[in-house]
Structure 1
């Protein structure tokens, strides 16, 4: 577990569980959190740092999306007002492994956008569906950063049950903000080029899967898809981190199990025949 100051009044926490990220915006002795880490143990550590060591009180928690590896600590900050998208239940119920004990209903729900002033910072909460339909992007122009949630995972993406086209669109909308620093839902923060890297990965992975499906019978295609190396999908000069390798392998499992990109392969074949 670690934390670092991105600005004197902006702290980023990275937990051990899934390397989930939470971002703390400070206004004197009061804190606005974006996300609440991936386990109760990690959240207790963050609570200790913020509340006991620093003497702060968490007043608001904004959830980028309502999955357990980002809302685990909600119960540890009972005085905090929780804000989420109105479709947050859809995100919560879409998890592969749901822990109902982590659920705490948000007091404030919204649809399209919300603007908050916290200390010297303006935070603009945009609905940005991609990895989940309830996803938010938190744009902080006063700190030249944006919180992307799980629409990126480092220099790659994680498909899970999402429509890849929605993830691609979500990344494009974050890119349009023009922020210099992007905080992911996992691993930490990155320069803005991480958005291009994630899109490159998604495009290369999709193209590779479509070519394999077109060239080989189903059983052999599945075996070849399961053996796609992450290096063949990464942007030039990007070296994969261990976390990215792990989630790339999960992507391959998802693609085989859920026939991901099969529809795109069918469309490509139809266009080729036209």
Structure 2
């Protein structure tokens, strides 16, 4: 596993003899070159395939460094690429293999199960590897929290619950690194508590005070018990609050809750 400094983006290498398959490819060209130097020059591996958990630029930087590798993505990869906030067109590479709901690939001692699991993006893929007791989650989690951005929170929650059903002991995130399975429960807890806080504010606060109160939601109020936020999670919690204000996130949930209360 490689973790870069740029967005703490993650790439995971699965080894089969002298061949390697990458799941994601880091966020910057310099860090992708470091990955290639370590994996190919120092370890003597040849990258034969690069698979994307989702087609956003902060996970695609290294694709261009392996022109002979098979590129793998979900069929809706362009939707994700075009919808992102910080698109880097130079990192885009047309995938040579696309799939719809699921695909299984034998790689050395492991069977990699690519499962379409939309959440953070509509093309999101979970890579379930039972023999390694791990699942690559991509950006459906960010450590012990989630990043909402333009996602449907309900779909994001569903994606995390589905990964939890795989029953793996290790979760590899799209950022930060690897985590124990409980991280998935922590991410659901964060999402649920954040939604509850936002709905309560939208339902009870004076209209002119709503934005300020939303922006003041503390991450500690949303974290699971015994979980302490690291700096990266705090940064993305603040981005969540900005998205909630700018995009009226959970406004529909507030309306539905209000309608149910008066039914």
Do they fold alike, i.e. is TM over 0.5?
A: yes
Corresponding position: 1:39 with 2:32: no
Q: What are the ranges of 5 or more consecutive residues in structure 1 without an aligned counterpart?
A: 1-11
d(CA) in 1 for partners of 2:208, 2:145 = 26
Tell me the TM-score normalised to structure 1 length.
0.95
Corresponding position: 1:190 with 2:179: yes
Q: Given the alignment, which residue of 108, 116, 140 partners 1:127?
A: 116
Aligned to 1:251: 240
Q: CA RMSD in A?
A: 0.5
Report the 3-state secondary structure (helix = DSSP H, G, I; strand = E; otherwise coil) of the residue aligned with 1:49. helix
Aligned to 1:62: 51
Tell me the TM-score normalised to structure 2 length.
0.99
State the number of aligned residues.
263
d(CA) in 2 for partners of 1:161, 1:87 = 16
1:198-251 per-residue CA deviation (whole Å, 9 max, x = no partner) reads: 000000000000001111122201100000000000000000000000000000
1:1-274 superposed matches below 5 A = 12-274=1-263
Report the 3-state secondary structure (helix = DSSP H, G, I; strand = E; otherwise coil) of the residue aligned with 1:73. helix
Report the 3-state secondary structure (helix = DSSP H, G, I; strand = E; otherwise coil) of the residue aligned with 2:161. helix
d(CA) in 1 for partners of 2:62, 2:207 = 43
Moved over 6 A (4+): none
d(CA) in 1 for partners of 2:39, 2:164 = 31
Q: What are the ranges of 5 or more consecutive residues in structure 2 without an aligned counterpart?
A: none
* Residue 79 of structure 1, CA deviation: 1.5
